[in-house]
A and B are shown apart, each in its own frame.
Chain A
Amino acid sequence: MRSVGRRPDAALIDEARVLLGPLRRPRPIAKPGDNGILEGIDLDAYAGDVRAAALREAQRNAPILSNELDEAEFVTYGHIVIDEAQDLSPMNFGS
């Protein structure tokens, strides 16, 4: 059987995922008015999940609808994993 891939650590990442539990995802911060969708809508009229869903939808659509793209809206990562971290120096982490 030929090994597939060079960094076959999927099982380890999987184990870490189970041990660490579900991710606490950072809530996307949509800015009403920036995105062309929520314009003129009083978000406060909607409560809880609906409001959150509307914000998420706005976030998803924002880069398509807006001409002036806010770079911060693109740079949204689900989660960052740093592998082989044993070899990083304190300075690597600091910068």
Chain B
Amino acid sequence: MTIVGDMGQATTASSSASWNAVLEVLEPRREPTRVDLTVSYRTPEEVLDFAAPTLRAAAPDLTPPRPVRRAGHLPSVDQVSREEFVATLAEVTRREVDAVAPGRVAVIVTGERVEEVVTILRSKGLDAIDPRDQESRGLGADLIVLSAQGANGLEFDGVVVVEPSQIASRGARGASTITARGLRTLYVAMTRPTRRLAIVAVEPLPETLR
């Protein structure tokens, strides 16, 4: 049996949190062989560099993965006022869709804001869908809006992460408190693209993105 995972992407509340904890439960009869996978085949160097401080804060013991590709495009950050948010989100999303066409773009937000963001993008003439919608083309659509906790294991050509601070506060009791689990969720969200990453925020960015 082979068990594969990235503790830097552990985003469920009940995660085992360490491989030693997993082995304690499994009690394998044979001594297990542990190997560390250190290469990122998917995420380009520019995106991994951008996400590295978040990984360091979320999982200090982990060695960041080594990229094998370069995208030729640095992640963009748009921090705007509340009034500018809708226009900026639509503009950035359209730019990303055009840049990767005919590829796929995901806009990643907190779970509570999926519906709101779908509505915003559609009102601006973008064909955004919620892949959970039964009538939709699901994850195969060109532009989808995804909750950060639903993004594990997926990949897209371009990703727009909305309000990273809200994603990073996941599991916090009080509002806008950054948590380790939230930072790992944000790390997952930011490392979904194979080509381009964009950030759009009204709230101040988490320190790891400044």
Contacts and interface: CB of A to CB of B under 8 A. Distances in A.
B37 A15 contact: yes
A86 B21 CA distance: 11
Contacts of A22: none
A6 B154 contact: yes
B152 A3 contact: no
B6 A86 contact: yes
8 contacts: A2-B103, A13-B4, A20-B2, A80-B2, A83-B5, A87-B11, A89-B15, A93-B26
A50 interface: no
Nearest to A8: B155
A16 B2 CA distance: 9
Q: Which of A7, A9, A94 has the most CB of B within 10 A?
A: A9
Contact of A3 (B5, B33, B37, B194): B194
B196 interface: no
A48 B205 CA distance: 67
> Main secondary structure on chain B at its contact with chain A?
loop
Range, interface on chain A: 20 to 34
Contact of B14 (A12, A81, A82, A89): A89
B42 to A, nearest CB: 7
Given A3-B104, A11-B41, A88-B15, A19 B35 contact: yes
Contacts of A82: 1-5
Top 6 A-B pairs, shortest CB-CB distance = A89-B14, A86-B5, A85-B5, A11-B41, A86-B10, A19-B35
A14 B196 CA distance: 25
B157 interface: yes
Nearest to A77: B1
A16 B35 CA distance: 7
A7 B2 contact: no
A91 interface: yes
Interface in B15-31: 15-16, 21-22, 24-26
Contact of B9 (A8, A20, A86, A92): A86
